[in-house]
Amino acid sequence: MIYKKIIPSSLLGRSLIIVFAPILILVVLTTFIFYQTSWSIISKRLAQSVVADINVIVKLIDQNLKTEAIQIAKKDFKMDVIYKKDTDLNPLSFRPQRGILTRRLQQSLEELERPFFYDLSNLEKGAAIAIQLNNDLLIISVHKDRLYNESAFVFLLWMFFASLILLLLSYLFMKGQIRPLKRLAIIAETLGRGLDAPELKVSGSLEIRQTTNAFNQMRTRIKRFLKQRTDMLAGVSHDLRTPLTRMKLQLSLMKDDDAKKELEYDIKEMTAMLNSYVSFVRGETPETIENIQLNNLIKNICQNLDREKYEITETYSRKIDTSGRPLQIKRAIQNILDNARRYASKIQIDVSANNDECFISISDNGPGIPEKNYEDVFKPFFTLDPSRNKMKGESGLGMTISRDIIRSHGGDIKLSPSSIGGLKTVINLPI
């Protein structure tokens, strides 16, 4: 819709339209009504007054009082009179003009019942009126004050300037009211990206104060919930390590090889789960936000990969700088690369960016994942093949931790089929 393109998208712009549009409509209607009524009446009265004075001059001239008529016209009527004998009116010199003043003057001059023409093209120097008197021509220059009332236009100018002043005051007032909303939007976005958002200062109107208080309460509850979850996982992981250690000691004393092998398998599985819990808790630990050179970060991660065992290809479109928690981002990318290393022999890493986001694409030639399970693999403890994953020491929390870290930085992780036969994982992060 056209009107959606015209209307500003910001709340400040729309608020100003709501405030100023009625004022603008009122000014336009007032100007139109004034021009069609009051200005028309004023112009009619002024034109009739000028023509009445001209009629007096014409009558004096008809009574052979030409000298007195010229003196009276200049002294009392603010008119300069030129009397030309044996001169005819040139009808071609008459140029009809538009406007209320022109129309009212012509109507009044027609009441003289004499040939005439007038010129209002240069009203600053006055109005020129020519009247045919038998064989002579009477040329009258009327001062502009006799036909033009500037106070009317002063009134209109005052209305327009008053409207502009009201618009400016409305802008300043609305800007002050909207400032707390802008702060709320920035802090909400910061909190949504998993960053440490400060508590908002309560200010503004009653509704904005209520919204700010509600947001501060929500922020406090979210931080409390995250801390409780992190503390609970840390406590569980710590408490379970002690019995696991005792079990390992007892296992070393067992002589039954078959039973010993089964218990080693269970202990290895439980140890992998505890390590995942610890890794998850470590990801929740506050870390300072720093500037990150993404190319160098990924190169450092790839240095630990066995390039003799895996065919690894790295592609960088350009130098990419972003910000975040380096250890957490490194852990998220490492988890995805660990999954690729377990099931593939060829890994392709492609790093690119646009004006707003950067993209890290990791493709492998492994068996891949069915499309129906793309979302399931991000669920905690979900595994496609439990027996195979347990043998590899997995717990099903790697992808969960990675997505949680990336989303806390305002990004996301998407899965799709790889062009080399396996799985393609795309990480996008804001720049």
Q: Is the pLDDT score of 96 beyond 70?
A: no
Residues 282, 337, single domain; the answer is no
Q: Give domain status of residue 205, yes or no.
A: yes
Residues 77, 63, single domain; the answer is yes
Which helix or strand (DSSP H or E) is residue 132 part of?
Answer: strand 127-133
Q: Give domain status of residue 159, yes or no.
A: no
Both tokens of 153, joined, read 């236009």
| Number of domains comprising the chain | 3
What pTM, to 2 d.p., does this model score?
Answer: 0.51
Q: Count Cβ atoms below 10 Å from residue 129 Cβ, excluding itself.
A: 22
Give the confidence band of 284 by pLDDT, cuts at 50, 70, 90.
low
Q: Give domain status of residue 181, yes or no.
A: no
Task: Look at residues 18, 51, 286 and name the one whose alpha carbon lies nearest to residue 170.
Answer: 18
The residue out of 286, 319, 353 marking a domain boundary is 286
3-state secondary structure 215-271: HHHHHHHHHHHHHHHHHHHHHHHHHHHHHHHHHHHHHHHCCCHHHHHHHHHHHHHHH
pLDDT tens digits for range 252-282: 777 777 777 777 777 777 777 677 666 666 6
Place of tokens 């989303």: 407
- Taking every pair of Cα atoms in the chain, the longest distance, rounded to a whole number of angstroms, is 152
Residues 46, 97, single domain; the answer is yes
Residues 257, 358, single domain; the answer is no
Task: Look at residues 397, 298, 387, 307 and name the one whose alpha carbon lies nearest to residue 350.
Answer: 298
Q: Identify the domain containing residue 227 by its residue range.
A: 193-286
DSSP 409: T
pLDDT tens digits for range 174-196: 888 888 888 888 888 877 766 67
The residue out of 99, 130, 151 marking a domain boundary is 151
Residues 247, 336, single domain; the answer is no
Residues in a beta bridge with 117: 130
The residue out of 253, 286, 319 marking a domain boundary is 286
Residues 6, 96, single domain; the answer is yes
Q: Give domain status of residue 168, yes or no.
A: no
User: What pLDDT is attached to residue 388?
Assistant: 47
Q: Give domain status of residue 400, yes or no.
A: yes
Task: Give me the CATH number covering residue 232.
Answer: 1.10.287.130
Q: Is the pLDDT score of 25 beyond 90?
A: no
Q: Give domain status of residue 174, yes or no.
A: no
Residues 126, 233, single domain; the answer is no
Q: Count Cβ atoms below 10 Å from residue 336 Cβ, excluding itself.
A: 23
Residues 271, 315, single domain; the answer is no
Task: Give me the CATH number covering residue 391.
Answer: 3.30.565.10
pLDDT tens digits for range 117-149: 888 877 777 788 888 888 888 888 888 778 776
Residues 292, 274, single domain; the answer is no
Q: Give domain status of residue 161, yes or no.
A: no
Q: Is the pLDDT score of 285 beyond 70?
A: no
Residues 14, 143, single domain; the answer is yes
Task: Give me the CATH number covering residue 100.
Answer: 3.30.450
Q: Give domain status of residue 202, yes or no.
A: yes
Task: Look at residues 278, 287, 271 and name the one whose alpha carbon lies nearest to residue 233.
Answer: 278
Residues 240, 350, single domain; the answer is no
Share of the chain above pLDDT 90, in %: 11
pLDDT tens digits for range 157-178: 888 888 888 888 888 888 888 8
Residues 97, 118, single domain; the answer is yes
What's the rounded Cα separation, in Å, for the pair 32 and 61? 42
3-state secondary structure 16-42: HHHHHHHHHHHHHHHHHHHHHHHHHHH
What value does the mean pLDDT take over residues 86-90?
76
Q: Count Cβ atoms below 10 Å from residue 227 Cβ, excluding itself.
A: 11
